[in-house]
Amino acid sequence: DAKTTQPNSMESNEEEPVHLPCNHSTISGTDYIHWYRQLPSQGPEYVIHGLTSNVNNRMASLAIAEDRKSSTLILHRATLRDAAVYYCILPSGGGADGLTFGKGTHLIIQP
Amino acid sequence: DTAVSQTPKYLVTQMGNDKSIKCEQNLGHDTMYWYKQDSKKFLKIMFSYNNKELIINETVPNRFSPKSPDKAHLNLHINSLELGDSAVYFCASSQEGSGYNSPLHFGNGTRLTVT
């Protein structure tokens, strides 16, 4: 299984950009990099995913390193509602199909 | 409209009982999943299922069984409940078979407490 490494927690101020890093040095050539977040007492929510090129959507941007061994989720202007656990995920490979979630990064937003 | 809905939201029961959690998705997705989130907040996949294939995580006890009456539903049956089954269970769905290039859509979870 491809593994990811994320900081346990990060803190940022409201209305400032947030850069959430993820290392995935064992990524294979066909693995998409997925990001999800989980707000308190809710199910995980899809944020963004990409393969090689940087990706943008209404929620965030995903910057992928050229060697694909790391990526960064960028929240351009954090709000209090962005406080959540953010998961960087690679496909789980063998066993049950689907995505395997790690510990994620607990993002704290200060007003 | 809720895309993936689970019922009940809370379930409290005693050891040894049999219970079911229902899941429905109105997204027209082909594949559905069950995940378990334990007290340490780790999310682990239990099953993935489409109309052709059930894939079971080998660590899931056979007391857990998914049942799919149709493509929009994947219910989770649990027999002989144990204290360690207490957790939050999430249902999810995706358009393509693996979720690799297809986002997962999650329900809001069912908190199961076994006493």
Tokens of B86: 């207490």
CB pairs under 8 A between A and B: 72
Torsion of CA B65, B66, B69, B73, to 10 degrees: 150
Q: In B, which residues are within 8 Å of A96 by CB distance?
A: 45-48, 55-57
Question: How far apart (Å, rounded) are the C-alpha atoms in residues B34 and B109?
Answer: 10
Tens of pLDDT, residues A17-32: 999 999 999 888 888 8
Q: Closest Cα of chain A to B87: distance in Å?
A: 12
pLDDT at A97 over 70: no
Kindly give the confidence (pLDDT) of every residue in chain B, 115 residues in length, as a single tens digit, with 9 standing for 90 and above: 679 999 999 999 999 999 999 999 999 998 899 999 988 888 888 988 886 678 777 788 999 999 988 889 999 999 999 999 999 999 999 887 555 678 889 999 999 999 9
pLDDT at A82 over 80: yes
Q: In B, which residues are within 8 Å of A42 by CB distance?
A: 108-109
Furthest-apart CA pair in chain B: how many Å? 40
The closest alpha carbon to B7, from B89, B86, B93, belongs to: B89
Tens of pLDDT, residues A23-81: 999 888 888 899 999 998 899 999 999 998 899 999 999 999 999 999 999 999 999 99
Given a contact cutoff of 8 angstroms between Cβ atoms, the answer to whether A110 and A11 are in contact is yes
User: pLDDT at position A94, please?
Assistant: 44
The closest alpha carbon to A56, from A67, A68, A64, A48, belongs to: A48
N-to-C CA span, chain A: 38
pLDDT tier at A95 (50, 70, 90 boundaries)?
very low
When CB atoms are compared, the residue of A46, A49, A97 closest to B98 is A97
Yes or no, beta carbons of B97 and A31 under 8 Å apart: no
Yes or no, beta carbons of A101 and B42 under 8 Å apart: yes
Tokens of A59: 């929620």
User: pLDDT at position B56, please?
Assistant: 73
Q: Closest Cα of chain B to A22: distance in Å?
A: 17
Question: How far apart (Å, rounded) are the C-alpha atoms in residues B85 and A66?
Answer: 43
Q: Phi, psi (5° rounding) for residue A35? A: -125, 130
Measured CB to CB, residues of chain A less than 8 Å from chain B are: 31-32, 34, 36, 38, 41-46, 49, 51, 85, 87, 91-92, 95-101, 103
Q: Closest Cα of chain B to A108: distance in Å?
A: 17
Question: How far apart (Å, rounded) are the C-alpha atoms in residues A42 and A16?
Answer: 24
